[in-house]
Amino acid sequence: MKLNTIEHADCLDFLREIPDESVDVTFADPPFNLKKRYSTYWDNLDVAQYVEWCHKWLRELVRVTKPSGSIFIHNIPKWLSYYCQALNEIADFRHWISWEAIGTPLGKTLLPTHYGILFYAKDYSQLKFYDVRYPHHRCRKCNTLRKDYGGKKKRLHPFGPLVSDVWTDLHRIRHNKRRDRHPCQLPIPLLERVILMSTDEGDTVLDPFMGTGTTAVAARRLGRDFMGTDIDENYVKISSDHVAAIEPTSKIGDSWVSLYLDQVATIRDEDWAELQHYFEVPQPAPAIDNKSIVYREGKLKVIEESIYAYERPKPVQNELLGMGLEDSDGALKEQ
Ligand SMILES: C[S@@+](CC[C@H](N)C(=O)[O-])C[C@H]1O[C@@H](n2cnc3c(N)ncnc32)[C@H](O)[C@@H]1O
């Protein structure tokens, strides 16, 4: 099994070849069984069949993860509820992360507007985990902090709060210029946050459903290794092309950070001591209420553009295009 290449194989065949407890972190974003028109397989199993198949690869993911490692699974809440049944027996539940999907609440009450990311530890007593922070949310017009922290503003962290289990600051890629021909492409900063929380430089992240290679790209940008597969040859080509264009440069100074557009999307809490020298921090402390920290070296390098600046392969026949299904939020409405 080669590091840093995306294999063209079925996930179960691929996983069976991997030795026990050899991977630092596993991340899975399987097909949602919502009749999506993928080109090589049928995304429409009956519930029992789908759940049985998922339980097989879930068991494999736990088997190959190191005792210090984490297992993350992304899906709609309906399927995650089945996954918990299996995972609670063999791993330690940590969190159900709710990732906001922007949707207009029209049509029905309790319209699903979040995806879930399950976070399990292989063994909580040995878990490797780092606290992470995201930038303060501010009013677009007046730049004032969106949240009222009452009398506690003096004690606010200048960069931003610790990340909670509700993620509203990272969004799906909607602009065609920035996404591939895939119905369910995840945004790179989402995977970068997961990777910064759970791994160190040089660790290995495994994804058995690579799609466009988001996990691989995020891992390489952050100086980690990856392993992965996809059953669809076209996606293997797309993801391999992505990875080839990536350098492990998502850094400020010596600290790995997640950069998105011209923003820092996520940092590790423990890196702020070093990172703060790269920013002008408003003084006195309460000034943070309406002034942002400013990167001293001008504009942050927009690494994201380099990822998409490659010639895209032409769509293959049958590929999902122009079917009105590319927008993954559709998945939420269909569940
Ligand atoms: C939800 S998508 C993953 C998207 C990916 N996270 C991204 O950001 O591009 C699911 C992927 O699983 C792949 N897939 C479906 N069945 C598979 C199987 N049995 N083995 C491996 N890959 C499979 C599909 O081809 C699809 O690309």
Probe target for ligand 1 pocket from 55, 230, 240, with the most ligand atoms within 8 Å of CB: 230
Name the DSSP class of 78: H
Give the pLDDT confidence score for residue 316 in this predicted structure.
Answer: 36
How many angstroms is it from 11 CA to the middle of ligand 1? 9
4-13 confidence digits (pLDDT tens): 999 999 999 9
pTM (2 d.p.): 0.90
What is the rounded CA–CA span in Å between residue 7 and residue 233? 9
Instruction: Please tell me the residue having the least CA distance from ligand 1 atom 5.
Output: 211
* Over residues 201-228, mean pLDDT: 97
235-270 confidence digits (pLDDT tens): 999 999 999 989 998 999 999 999 987 789 999 999
Q: Is the CB of 214 under 6 A from ligand 1?
A: yes
Give the pLDDT confidence score for residue 178 in this predicted structure.
Answer: 58
If DSSP codes are grouped into helix, strand and coil, which group holds residue 164?
coil
* Residue closest to 295 by CA, chosen among 284, 280, 313: 280
Probe target for ligand 1 pocket from 52, 205, 210, 307, with the most ligand atoms within 8 Å of CB: 210
Say which range, 170-174, 189-193, 271-275, 292-296, has the weakest mean pLDDT. Answer: 170-174
Q: Which residues of 6-36 are buried (b: 16+ CB within 10 A; e: fewer)?
A: bbbbebeebbeebeeeebbbbbbbbbbbbeb
CATH of domain 6-334: 3.40.50.150
Domain boundaries, the chain: 6-334
Q: Distances in Å between the alpha carbon of 308 and those of 62, 134, 178, 232, 327? A: 33, 24, 6, 20, 18
